[in-house]
Structure 1
Amino acid sequence: MLPPDNHVHTRWSWDTSNSSTMQLACERAASRGLPGLAFTEHVDFTAWGEGDGAREGLAAPDAVAVRPHVMPFDVEGYSAELERVRGMFPQLRIVSGIEAGEPHLFAGSVSRVLASGSFERVLGSLHSVSYEGRLVGADDRMFRALGAEGLMRKYFTEMLDLVSGSSVFGVLAHCDFPRRYWPERAGEYDESRFEEEYRAVFRALAASGRALEINTRSPLWSVDLVRWWREEGGRAVSFGSDAHQPYRVGALFDVAVDIVEAAGFKAGRDPLDFWYR
């Protein structure tokens, strides 16, 4: 049996179309033989709230430019649809959750969202880096501004800040997120060029006892990279498609399972659990 998909987005995420419903995602999960899935909707912020705090030198609240079109998370609507699909798909374990963006910077705002509902799975993610006093998406723009290696190394440094600066999440999502936008002009992405940075993040995460996500929307990791996680003390792996369309739920899980098994992790007795070394 394949593992559950612990990273799925639907219309309740600000960057996902209204056609991406929980029902369609559950239908795909069932058809692919998954035992369950977690709806981890985006929770991102564009201004500082009470209890939030940025590093010295980062922009004041009214100048924060993370994602200008972010919409507030509708917890009530999300929760109602979640209960409806739980009744429709009793064969699936359907888990509630959020993907908290930059939770080390928006601690107060994230805490208020978590207090407003019941969330079983919390992912921590870093989509932006600080640049010229602002938070800027870690994508094509930053590759042009900082260069390929420059952005990746900056991203890993800020990822360490996230791991050490927030305890609200249980799974670290797509820990090399900018790799999705790696420019062709830089040649093939070579994981070994950043081994020291990967290992530093893995070491910090493992020390906190949390799980690492194998994200199948990002370029799939090598067996060696997953083995670095194990060697640095990592015990648990979570699988996530990061699906923003229903058809991608569980995508490439068969390949990801082979990689994780080859790196020394295996399924536990509970098919709905993480995989462990």
Structure 2
Amino acid sequence: MHFSHRPPRRTVRIAAAALAAGLLIAPAGCASGPDSSGGGDSEGGEAEEPRTLTVFAAASLTDTFEQLTDAFSEQHDGVDVQLSFAGSSDLVAQITEGAPADVVATADERTMQQLVDDSLLTGEPTPFVTNVLEIAVPEGNPEGVSSLTDLANPDLDVVVCAPQVPCGAATEKVEEASGVRLSPVSEEPQVTDVLGKVAGGQADAGLVYRTDAAGSDAVEGIAFPEAQDAVNTYPIAPVADSASPALAQEFVDFVLSEEGWRIFEEAGFTAP
């Protein structure tokens, strides 16, 4: 199957702050009753109301999940996929606090395990891609950074992810394995914030995922061997209280399909 040119986006990005504040309204037509993902005509021959699927995904999946959603929507008429991107720990906290979601994909298995332990998922999460850290520097690499050791230079302004999010946990693993200790000027709640500070010239370097560096025209990515000590595996699963469980499983299956894999592979992700 070949992708057509991407249509106008049919997704709605939900601000994480709104979710955390409990402002998100439950998907229309899915608040009660049986799963509405099945086909069939409505009573009286009226057209079926649009179905909504809410997907929570780690910030590092933004580009790929937007592409996946376009392709999924082409194959599912009347389905409105709403995407919410944030740091994985924030997504887990929102679901734990009752934010409505149908599918969740995090940037590591440790974070997802919290939802498993709280019985908030349907079945076991399925790994679908892996990722590693790279050093991101502004275009042209003005400080001449070439290795992880360079980031320990106190004259450099380095930004990293906060320890509670997967990219921050991976940074700590890299530090422990390499013996290199960083003194970041800031710890960000999601990897895209690190990328943004480097791209905007607010930092000399930062640790981001390889796919984030590859997807940005404003930074250069520098691979370093110590990153292999902190490979992150991304899992995905339907949320237990999904209002449309069958549709949620269809989205998960699409992510795991060959069509989904091609999108991830092109973005630089690797197989688990």
Greater relative contact order: 1 or 2 (C-alpha under 8 angstroms, separation 6 or more)? 2
Per the TM superposition, whether the score is higher than 0.5 is: no
Give the alignment's TM-score, normalised by structure 1: 0.30
TM-score w.r.t. length of structure 2 = 0.30
Bigger Rg over Cα: 2
